[in-house]
Amino acid sequence: MPNASNFTLFSGGAQGAEAQFGHQAELRGVQEVNFTFEGHRIERSRGIRVLTQEELAKKDVSLSYVSKLLSRKFSNGPQIRMVLRTIMHQVDAGLEVFVVGAIQDDGTVKGGTGWGAEFAKLCNKPLFVFCQEKNGWFTWENDAWTPVSAPTITQTHFTGTGTRFLEENGKAAIADLFARSFA
């Protein structure tokens, strides 16, 4: 088994999946970096990395592009723009990406979480999504979702993100992922 202290989770520390990724990282001795911005309320207090305005501006993305890519409308409010930018920092920092949410019929992941999954695809990063509705893990291969039984964290820098609406099976999936990876 790898030494957990050599691994770093990159996340956002928000309510739900991100807080659970952080909790499991802390239990296992995995280092944690939570990207956030001034005035953003998050649940995690460990490994906080407040992004500067300059760092956030470097990750600016067109909301019309994101809306078109994900086939849904995003409001043009400053909060959602900042959240999308922090998600890009999370995905950029990790060498593989783990997401908890819901895979929709069009192949995107539901909600703002979907931007993290789509950005991981655009960056050609190994991507694993636990779909709470389908109660299973999937990986993105050859432009399609393929079921996988038990992924493990293999890269020392990895990203954990997902829905604010974490269900019991999503919580268990994150705990099991860490248990398999750092027994």
The 10s digit of each residue's pLDDT in 155-175 is: 999 999 999 999 999 999 999
At 79, which amino acid appears?
Answer: Q
Mean pLDDT of 130-153: 96
C-alpha to C-alpha distance for 172 and 167, rounded to whole angstroms: 9
- Residue 103: the pLDDT is 96
C-alpha to C-alpha distance for 156 and 29, rounded to whole angstroms: 13
Q: CATH 3.40.50: does it fit domain 4-181?
A: yes
pLDDT band at 101 (very low <50, low <70, confident <90, very high): very high
25 CB contacts (<8 Å, ≥6 apart)?
9, 31, 32, 160, 178
The 10s digit of each residue's pLDDT in 10-45 is: 999 999 999 999 999 999 999 999 999 999 999 999
CB 154 within 8 A of CB 125: no
CB 25 within 8 A of CB 9: yes
Model confidence, pTM: 0.93
The 10s digit of each residue's pLDDT in 67-97 is: 777 777 777 777 788 888 999 999 999 999 9
CB 174 within 8 A of CB 16: no
The conformational region for residue 134 under phi > 0 = left, psi -120 to 50 = alpha, else beta, is alpha
DSSP state of 160: E
Residue 61 burial (C-beta neighbours within 10 Å; 0-12, 13-18, 19+): middle
Domain ranges across the chain: 4-181
